[in-house]
Amino acid sequence: MRSQEIGLQKYHDDCYPVISSNKDTFERLAVLYAPICNDLGKLRAKTLEAASTKLKSNSTRRNELLSEVSKRARHQLEQAKQQEKTAEDATDLIDRFKKLVRTT
């Protein structure tokens, strides 16, 4: 088994040309794409700034909408509770009516 092992130097000698050629290729791509990356960063910063400005400028409207949605949600919750109470009352009324019919 020991005789089948590949020495470190042999492994290094076999891999070095591939690694160095990939490094050169990566460096060429980095030079090629650097302007694109810089523009992308500037565009991202500009987009975020525009979104932040819009968010700040519409804070009053956003708060009004939040209040309106909150009121609607409370109203719907109250309606659901009322419907649940009505259903319970109806069930109770039906039970009482059945008892009344059975006793007569």
* 3-state SS track over 8-56: HHHHHHHHHHHHHHHHHHHHHHHHHHHHHHHHHHHHHHHHHHHHHHHHH
Confidence of residue 2 (pLDDT cuts 50, 70, 90): low
DSSP character for 4? Answer: G
pLDDT at residue 7 is higher than 80? no
pLDDT score of 103: 84
pLDDT tens-digit readout, 33-91? 888 877 888 888 899 999 888 888 888 888 899 999 999 999 999 999 999 999 999 99
Domain ranges of the chain: 1-57, 71-104
pLDDT at residue 25 is higher than 90? no
Confidence of residue 32 (pLDDT cuts 50, 70, 90): confident
